[in-house]
Structure 1
Amino acid sequence: MNITEPSFDEAEITLLRECLNSKWVTQGPLTERFEKLLAEKHGVKHALACTSCTAALHLATLALNLGAGDEVIVPAFTWVTSAHCAEYVGAKPVFVDVELSTYNIDPEKLRDAITPRTKAIVAVHLFGLAAPMDEIKAIAGPRGIAVIEDAACAVGTTYKGKPVGAIGDIGCFSFHPRKAVTTGEGGAVTTNRDDLAARVRSQRNHGATGAPDPSIEPHGPWTMATFDNLGFNLRLSDIQAAVGVAQMGKLDRVLAERRRLGHRYSELLGGIDSVVRPLGGDVGGHAFQSYVIRVLDGGRKRRNELMAALAAENIQTRPGTHAVHRLGYYADKYGWRAEQFPNAILAEDTTIALPLFPKMSNEDQDRVVDLLDNACRGK
């Protein structure tokens, strides 16, 4: 049993055929349709598709003009690119521990990490559960600190009824195959700020800054864009966007299914005392991109034994994610010590993401839980 799988059918084939028949396969009308659907779903003025969430995070730091001497606060338990985006622009990532009840950033520890050099906070909505945005904004707002929402896992996630990606200054989404919406690889930047949208639009497209002044030379077939920014080629193709448009048509159904399965897991696992269920935070808005449990006793060795027992029964699992500060690049460059962020270390060593995918049957779920229960009991 796979840990997840995308939901594809004739809708994707139809739109791909439409795209190929049009002969317009680079960024174009289908990308615009995809962006509009995403903007409507997340209640934002601008949604700008790009090649990945890594690219989206990079574009966000560029749009916010972050650079050398700036500090960017990042939860210590997250995917590595939440921190890489600061490194890409010469800023310094500063790690903050997470709350074990949510795996998201701990607001009290966040407050302690603020310095005069803090210019942005990366608020990760890990596994599809919204970060504590009220607390984060209360800390960031009065100090003029930008909030980047890393919503890689959080298409369709809400926080107190409001879609994520529209709460901070700028949001970043992923459309990797493990997400509720996939374009194979792909991402998007969301924002309500016109200035940030303009910078992202330019810098994802080589730094193009629009048509030249027609008073200098009339526009015609010879007219080319101006390039007043240093940019990159981070555009999503219309081929990928065709898949994205079809996927967005299924999103509400997929989210409802994932939420039903997530809550059902929590009910089924209630009798296994040796694991902790994801019950913290705004669970009502959880999109359950992943259903992640934590093993209480035995540490990493015991966690690995349980994963091996499930693998022996052809049940695919994964660890939650990284404790980024102890990865080689960050440990070597900044000298972070593992014990500085104990919850992140514990989360990395003891979490398991269980299978969760569209059309997963109750029988599939029952089997996963029964096998996990048996492994916990040593059977």
Structure 2
Amino acid sequence: MSEGVAILNFQSWKIFMQDVSSIQDLVSKSSPFLSNGKNFSLVPFSKFDLDSDHSLNLLASWRNENIFAYPTRSPITISGTKKWVEKAVLANPNRLLFWIVDSSLGRLGHIGVVVNPVSEKFEIDNVLRGIPIDNPGLMSSALSKIESVIEEEFSIESVYLKVLESNKRAAQFYLTHGYIAVGHEDLVWEHLESGSQLVPGSKKDDAFITMQKSFIRSESGLPGTVLTAGPSISALEISYVTDAVRNGWNAQNSDYLVRFEEEFAKYVGAKFAMATSSCTGALHLSLLALGIGPGDEVIVPDITWVATASAVRYVGAKPIFVDVLSDSWTLDPVALRASITKNTRAIIPVHLYGYGARMPEIISIAQEFGLRVVEDAAPAIGTQIQGKSAGTYGDFGCYSFQGAKLLVTGEGGMVVTDDPVLYAKVKKIQDHGRKPGTFWIEELGYKYKMNNITAALGLAQIQRAQNQINRKRRINTWYREGLDGIHGINFQTEDSGTESICWMTSFTLGEECRVNRDGLIAALKRNDIDSRPVFPSISQYEIWGYTPKIPRNSKFIGDSGINLPSGVMLDKSTVERVIDTIRQTV
């Protein structure tokens, strides 16, 4: 994410964090952390602080006690402190300040972040320990926490701060915390009636040291086992879900569900969206709405999760397994055309692991033969194909929010369409086939609904989607650069005109490698690195009622392909740990 885009996102985030209506709401937006085994939190400054004498008195006394650390020497008063909180903190779109509180909500200090609209940099701001307690690592832990919060939210690669050269204790604190000096600005005292302040000048009285910490260069890595997946859950998700649990009942029982569907449709560029309990349910409902049933054939790629073909069997139709392209691992249009018979009614292309299929070509073939298209975009929310979202080419597009996906709700799905008639059909089938607005059942229906609490989580996730995509693509780049030049490793690649969300970074191993896929998985496991095999060629399963011919490319990919750890929160040092293990093994 560019710094400019990150700053715009920061300004929106600040508005959300400070928009509180109750103490419970404020607490839901806090960021807990541990220091020496004790619980603390960062709680955002809010409008409540303006009306709190206790807050203002604390701030005024702390600033007086630590006046040596500030470049101003103006008299500090309660009224002046209130004005500072109101104007310089709450009303400043580029600053967010947090209280550091203990488990009893006692306020111990503050720390903040400010974005510089000129330099487009994120800076740590107003680090102050106001009340000494028996926890010598508290400020270090608070600093680590705010660093992790802003890195997760905005995917920035480094953070800055300024410290007075005379404040040697603070400068040393930041040095030991991984910051390095990158700039120096001489300052001179300017004495006014209202007080004194340090300003840039040639006659040096003091100086600002600019310090930087690079997140990309971090050598810490994630502790413990490296997992294949994992979500990003922020204060936004916690706040929405908390509100849904407290208030999302009776007249508000579907508020978050409606918002989620509307914002999802807008995000992918579809006219209609309907949330479901799973992507499998979305696929089943789509086929039912299209009238697919016994005697019909539906073409599916031979490399996919079994649900793609299972949904075909649910409606009594026959899945026809077609080979995939050797590079993108998505449906091969040439093989697709060759597999069409007089019984073919539909095609289900799959955007495997977030890599876009050749939808313009597939749609052209479908139109030529009068076939329906249901896109299985389960792992591809945000994938772009010729400037259009995966899942919006066909009659229906189906998505997943299962717990390992890019965007998660634990379990859940979404079906989209631009056709109002198909939307009405799929919505009715999902609602037990009832006549809208009544309890009268007009046809056999199903219940694949999503609940309001789950939708609250989904709404927050879709609002943070682009940041997650940027992180996934960055992880994929690290792997491809780190494993470049190894003979026998061939990555799944983006097709021309597509942009993958890189949900999973995956490759196949050739015979020239020292180990096969299963040997590599075992070696990674011995080093506490999780991975998983690529989906097998699903035509091999003995559940389809006939024995299909197993396609060549899908068989090779299914036998030799591996998914690497691709959790959205992986840092570069952790990815490098995986890369080093692979290089030593293959």
- 1:206-225, aligned counterparts within 5 Å? 206-211=432-437, 224-225=438-439
Q: Deviation of residue 113 (structure 1)?
A: 0.3
CA pair 196-261 structure 1, distance change in 2 beyond 3 A = same
Q: CA RMSD in A?
A: 1.7
Distance 2:287 2:539 in 1: 20
Distance 1:128 1:91 in 2: 26
CA pair 180-245 structure 1, distance change in 2 beyond 3 A = same
Q: What does residue 502 of structure 2 align with?
A: 288
Contact 1:295/1:350, CA 8 A, preserved across alignment: yes
* Equivalent AA in structure 2 for residue 291 of structure 1: T
Q: Any unmatched runs of 5+ in structure 2?
A: 1-225
Given the alignment, which residue of 118, 141, 146 partners 2:367? 141
Distance 2:281 2:239 in 1: 28
- 1:148-159, aligned counterparts within 5 Å? 148-159=374-385
Q: Which is helix-richer, 1 or 2?
A: 1
TM-score of the superposed pair, with normalisation by structure 2:
0.60
Would you say how many aligned residue pairs link Structure 1 and Structure 2?
A: 360
TM-score of the superposed pair, with normalisation by structure 1:
0.92
Contact 1:129/1:282, CA 8 A, preserved across alignment: no
Contact 2:386/2:497, CA 8 A, preserved across alignment: no
Runs of 4+ in 1 over 3 A off after TM superposition: 298-301
Q: Which is strand-richer, 1 or 2?
A: 2
- 1:309-328, aligned counterparts within 5 Å? 309-328=523-542
Q: What does residue 233 of structure 1 align with?
A: 447
CA pair 120-310 structure 1, distance change in 2 beyond 3 A = same
Contact 1:170/1:190, CA 8 A, preserved across alignment: yes
Q: Deviations over 1:28-58 (max 9, x none)?
A: 1111111111101110001100000000000
| Larger RCO (alpha carbons 8 Å, 6+ apart) | 1
* Equivalent AA in structure 2 for residue 368 of structure 1: V
- 1:267-282, aligned counterparts within 5 Å? 267-282=481-496
Contact 2:433/2:444, CA 8 A, preserved across alignment: yes
Q: What does residue 466 of structure 2 align with?
A: 252
- 1:353-364, aligned counterparts within 5 Å? 353-364=563-574
CA pair 350-298 structure 1, distance change in 2 beyond 3 A = farther
Q: Does 1:3 align with 2:228?
A: yes
Contact 2:300/2:349, CA 8 A, preserved across alignment: yes
* Equivalent AA in structure 2 for residue 148 of structure 1: V
Given the alignment, which residue of 255, 258, 261 partners 2:475? 261
Contact 1:71/1:120, CA 8 A, preserved across alignment: yes
Q: Does 1:200 align with 2:200?
A: no
Q: Deviations over 1:232-271 (max 9, x none)?
A: 1111001100110111121010011111221222222212
* Equivalent AA in structure 1 for residue 501 of structure 2: A
Q: Deviations over 1:245-301 (max 9, x none)?
A: 111121010011111221222222212112111224147510111111101117997
Distance 1:357 1:27 in 2: 32
Q: What does residue 167 of structure 1 align with?
A: 393
Q: Does 1:334 align with 2:546?
A: yes
Contact 1:277/1:292, CA 8 A, preserved across alignment: yes
Q: Deviations over 1:183-221 (max 9, x none)?
A: 10000101001111111111111112213xxxxxxxxxx
Q: Any unmatched runs of 5+ in structure 1?
A: 212-223
SS at match of 1:352: strand
In terms of Rg, which structure is larger?
Answer: 2
CA pair 236-273 structure 1, distance change in 2 beyond 3 A = same
Distance 2:557 2:514 in 1: 10
CA pair 119-139 structure 1, distance change in 2 beyond 3 A = same
Q: What does residue 344 of structure 1 align with?
A: 554
SS at match of 2:398: strand
